Amino acid sequence: MALRKIVELGEECLTKACRPVTEFNPRLHQLLDDMAETLSEANGAGLAAPQVGVLRRVCLVLDEDSEEYLEMINPEIISQSGEQTGLEGCLSVPGKWGLVTRPEMVRVRAQDRNGGWFEAEGEGLTARAFCHEIEHLDGHMYTEHIDRFLTDEEVREYLEEEEGE
């Protein structure tokens, strides 16, 4: 495994739609392993292949319940419900946060590292991460959903409010 460089806002690869994965081979497995190590080191909730410069439909999302990474290849959202508005950031936009409205519950269909299909469901932060990472695969970022970045003081106030609830 190896750490990969996380590209940042402004890099062209973050604005391009990714190609589907068609070969489930050791090269894909190496990418998934490297992404898991990179995500763990960065302490993030998710990571998409274009964030490490690879234009393939591959992403990892931290499952809040199991605290393990869910590997998703060629993922698609098949259902969603409810609504939540919350603080969102991105490893490709370090130190910046905004408020984004996302579905409260999201169900995805994806392939595993060997090509097998599965479905997964997430609520709250996991649902948010599903949406966020799949958007990356289509060349979009959370920054398209915000009016502006929050100041450090606004982020602190928001987090204190959340703790109080």
- Residues tagged active-site: 133
Question: How many whole angstroms separate alpha carbon 51 and alpha carbon 134?
Answer: 12
Taking alpha carbons only, the member of 56, 46, 37 closest to residue 120 is: 46
Q: What is the DSSP secondary-structure string of 126-163?
A: HHHHHHHHHHHHTT--GGGG-SSPPPHHHHHHHHHHHH
8 Å CB contact between 105 and 84? no
8 Å CB contact between 84 and 103? yes
Residues near 69 by Cβ (< 8 Å), separated by ≥ 6? 36, 39, 40, 60, 61, 62, 63
